[in-house]
Amino acid sequence: MAVLSHHEDGAVVAQTLLLLLTVSSSLLGAVVPALAADPPFSCGPSSTAATQGYAFCDATLPVAQRAADLVARLTPAEKVAQLGDEAAGVPRLGVPAYKWWNEALHGLATSGKGLHFNGAVRSATSFPQVSLTAAAFDDDLWFRIGQAIGREARALYNLGQAEGLTMWSPNVNIYRDPRWGRGQETPGEDPTTASRYGVAFVKGLQGNSSASLLQTSACCKHATAYDLEDWNGVARYNFDARVTAQDLEDTYNPPFRSCVVDGKASCVMCAYTGINGVPACANSDLLTKTVRGDWGLDGYVASDCDAVAIMRDAQRYAPTPEDAVALALKAGLDIDCGTYMQQHAAAAVQQGKITEDDIDKALNNLFAVRMRLGHFDGDPRANIYGGLNAADICTPEHRSLALDAAQDGIVLLKNDAGILPLDRAAVASAAVIGPNANNPGLLIGNYFGPPCESVTPLKGVQGYVKDARFLAGCRSAACDVADTDEVASLAASSDYVLLLMGLSQQQESEGRDRTSLLLPGQQQSLITAVADAAKRPVILVLLTGGPVDVTFAKTNPKIGAILWAGYPGQAGGLAIARVLFGDHNPGGRLPVTWYPEEFTKVPMTDMRMRADPATGYPGRSYRFYQGETVYKFGYGLSYSSYSRRLVSSGTPNTDLLAGLSTMPLPAAEQGVASYHVEHIGPQRCEQLRFPAVVEVENHGPMDGKHSVLVYLRWANATAGRPAKQLIGFRRQHLKAGEKARLTFDISPCEHFSRVRKDGSKVVDRGSHFLMVDKHEMEITFEV
């Protein structure tokens, strides 16, 4: 990487870096000369199935009819062979083999089985890990990321480097506990944010085309109430989550409901978790009654990998393999990630535990999705996505989007005396210190593929500071041994000091929960020693998926600024540098609460969201937690000063409630009369909507993007009501001195409602308060 003069204009610096990366990526092998293979498909014009006039090849027929025709032509053995993530081909019918398991969490990944980077394409765009992208609070950004990933998947498929287009993403579980190793994969702790992320990402991934053809198939995982890997001897494979109907309805299930109802996701994946004694993948109330019945899933239900086997082997829920298969299929599962159902379904039929009709039902759902992907319409290169090829992967637009996503998500947590942004002309030298400063692999988190390019923070800073010197200080983020004297000496001799610290997949990942919220090993003592040795307050950049307790840094005046940069993807180092040197005005907000170390006394196995003061249980998330925080949900600073206020609001037409009886609630719920949302009904709910307008102004000195968060507060937080609930957000670009008015659509049935202990949704009569910051507007809901 060439070192650029610190006198260059920031925009030129960024453009030059991107140009260098674009050139170097071809040398890294993003696209190499190779002969493209043919994609797998059925029903070509000369195929036996097409020439015989089989109905499953007739694209003019309804998908369900075509799928049923194909399933009816399969032998029992051929049917059973379709029940695993690696589905066998049926040569006599021209049906190719298919691989269902493909990952697209924040870019195409090699962790599934169907995507390959060994042909004409050797890499794909790696966007930031989801927890950072969520911090932008930007539906359009999330949609565009999903769309870019979907286009790259289609291109890979057209080139014969993908054996499937079913993407087992996104992960929309609620990040309930800060120690969870997979929290980094999720949009955070708030149901509204996770729901809107899921909808936007799914729409982008599947293609927002008016045509019935799916770009790819999205699968929202892992339903439901899953956020434990391995804690205190309890593993995700044998954990039975005890969850109230109230918490299921207002916390754990909403993102999955939104994925299916609003996003039209074509798949839901069930978790390993047991839910109140029943494994999720054997839970007919969840899979059939709720997901397919109440929410109307048009698609298939997949298991997490080996979840069916685990029902017998770890959970001891099923006495035999055949019982496990029967329980899963009858509950509504369609496909097993693994081979367990393929191995034992035939015996389950022979033993009378399932019928062939049970298998047919699952296969109808599976083949219907494959038909919606165009796999039975002849050569897919002739459909609306057929023109996508190697030139549509790692495009300049996708690279730019990866940079935008990273810098838009970065959260400024501390900026004492306005130490940031740095003036590059005033930075004669910089010490870049930390195990996360020059580690390309760390930037892309988990569930990743080979990125188009990689810019570490060190490389990013070198683009602005000619004399930038680097020491890791620790061999890894674990920081078991620290070179404290050496890094302190470098800090003392440098004009400015940048510390790139945090976590890695060795501390937080799938299968690995944290036991502490503190920075690992000797990181804290190393940071403090460097801060003591430096000429001026140092700048701390945290690369983590989840929250950490950095109270020591927050309160230390020798640490002048703190940034959280998540796992920022392939362009992460450039994004960090652009924020540090003021070429991007930070506007990210935390999508999770940052708790103190004290919170680790709370068992991860306690699934309750609401606090219980009588036992000292503090509750979880900004909605219910009653305790001290390091940083609150939604917190984030900027280089500009913004103001926000509610300037007007309509009112719901409560005359529509005339004649509608209210429900007097039990004394335990304060005896407040409420309207049952189910009784109000969809038509009245739609007619009750009204607008609210928020004015936001950028008082300068810099242009920037700013997210406005609107909350709902009830008249009191008793009887299980949240302290407040996020009900809407909008991201707006504003020039310095500019103001804008943003209109929010308020639905009383959705936004004023709360969930009772029995899981029913009600809207209390009386006052409700719209909130933006400390500014409130009272809305009365009664005739």
Catalytic residues: 304
Report the alpha-carbon distance of residue 428 to residue 494 in Å, rounded. 8
Residue/partner pairs of 136-140 with CB below 8 Å, 24 or more apart: 136/405, 136/408, 136/409, 136/587, 136/588, 136/707, 136/731, 137/193, 137/589, 137/591, 137/707, 137/709, 137/729, 137/731, 138/408, 138/705, 138/707, 138/731, 139/196, 139/197, 139/199, 139/200, 140/200, 140/731
Q: DSSP for 593-651?
A: -B--GGGGGS-TT----S-BTTTTB--SHHHH--S--SB-TT--B-SS-EEEEEEEE--
Residues 215, 217, 218, 224, Cα dihedral to 10°: 170
Nearest to 95 by CA among 135, 149, 40: 40
Strand 496-502 relative to strand 538-543, pairing: parallel
Residues 580 and 420: beta-carbon distance below 8 Å: yes
Which alpha helices (DSSP H) does 232-339 contain, by range? 245-247, 254-261, 284, 307-313, 321-331
Measured in residues, the chain has a length of: 783
What span, in angstroms and rounded, lies between the C-alpha atoms of 633 and 628?
12
Work out the angle at residue 426's Cα, subtended by the Cα atoms of residues 424 and 427, and round it to the nearest 5 degrees: 65
Strands annotated E in 294-354 = 300-303
Q: Which of 105, 137, 143 has its CA nearest to residue 124?
A: 105
How would you label 594-617 residue by residue, b for 16+ Cβ within 10 Å and e otherwise? bbeeebbebebeebbbbbeeeeee
* In contact, 76 and 346? CB cutoff 8 Å: yes
Cis peptide, bond prior to residue 421, ω within 30 of zero:
yes
CA distance 8 to 773: 39
The β-bridge relationship of strands 663-664 and 642-649 is: unpaired
Pair 104, 205: CB distance under 8 Å: yes
Q: Could you give the CA distance from residue 712 to residue 715 in angstroms, rounded to a whole number?
A: 10
Residue with tokens 């919220």: 517
- Record the tokens describing residue 249, joined without a space: 């309805």
Structure tokens at 245: 């109907």
**Within 13 A of 500's CA, how many CA atoms are on the CB side?**
33
What are the backbone angles phi and psi of residue 374, rounded to the nearest 5°? 85, 15
Which neighbouring-strand residues pair with 237?
none
CA distance 98 to 84: 10
Cα(217)–Cα(755) distance, rounded to whole angstroms? 32
Strands 559-564 and 642-649: unpaired
Q: Distance (Å, rounded) from C-alpha 330 to C-alpha 288?
A: 9
Query: Residue 484 corresponds to which tokens in the numbers above?
Result: 């404290």
Q: Is the peptide bond before 224 cis (omega within 30 degrees of 0)?
A: yes
Pull the structure tokens for residue 522: 């000797």
Of 445, 404, 444, 389, nearest to 152 (Cα)? 389
